[in-house]
């Protein structure tokens, strides 16, 4: 293979690897979001449940009885961890997309690194617009 052909193959390989990383990250986010939705449903079911002292919680293929408060606490901790992982993946996705665009010779996405206003920053906005 001559030098030019090798360069094209290397370029296409690099683009393919960057695109695969973006797709993998997106799939991981979808999977974590599905777990998070399941946890949310479980927390709502526990709230609506009659005053049962113990509830059965599924771990893999096994059901274990726990006190209701312990089950809520465990699910909430899992929910917090999933939120943290999702935020980490979102930040990584931004970097991966920018790397893919750079590899393809495209400009970096504009407005992609915007952050929402904090509650402190929203106070003056609400006072001006009387929200």
- How would DSSP label each residue in 63-78? EEEEEHHHHHHHHHHH
How confident is the model at residue 108, as a pLDDT?
Answer: 81
Q: Is residue 86's pLDDT more than 90? A: yes
How confident is the model at residue 15, as a pLDDT?
Answer: 92
The structure's pTM equals 0.75
For the chain, domains (ranges, CATH) are 3-107 (1.10.287.370)
Cβ burial, residue 106 (10 Å; 0-12/13-18/19+)? exposed
In tens, the pLDDT along 38-60 reads 999 999 988 888 777 888 888 88
Report d(CA 84, CA 89) in Å as an integer.
Answer: 9
How confident is the model at residue 129, as a pLDDT?
Answer: 87
The stretch 88-107 carries a mean pLDDT of 90
Q: What's the chain's average pLDDT?
A: 89
């Amino acid at each position: 293979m001559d030098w030019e052909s090798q360069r094209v193959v290397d370029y296409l390989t690099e683009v393919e690897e960057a695109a695969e990383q973006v797709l993998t990250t997106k799939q991981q986010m979808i999977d974590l979001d599905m777990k998070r939705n399941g946890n949310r449903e479980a927390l709502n079911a526990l709230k609506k449940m009659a005053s049962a002292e113990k509830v059965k919680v599924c771990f893999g293929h096994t059901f274990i009885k726990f006190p209701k408060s312990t089950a809520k606490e465990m699910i909430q901790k899992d929910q917090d961890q999933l939120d943290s992982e999702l935020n980490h993946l979102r930040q990584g996705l931004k970097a991966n997309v920018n790397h893919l665009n750079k590899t393809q010779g495209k400009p970096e996405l504009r407005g992609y690194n915007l952050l929402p206003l904090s509650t402190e920053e929203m106070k003056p906005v609400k006072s001006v617009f009387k929200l």
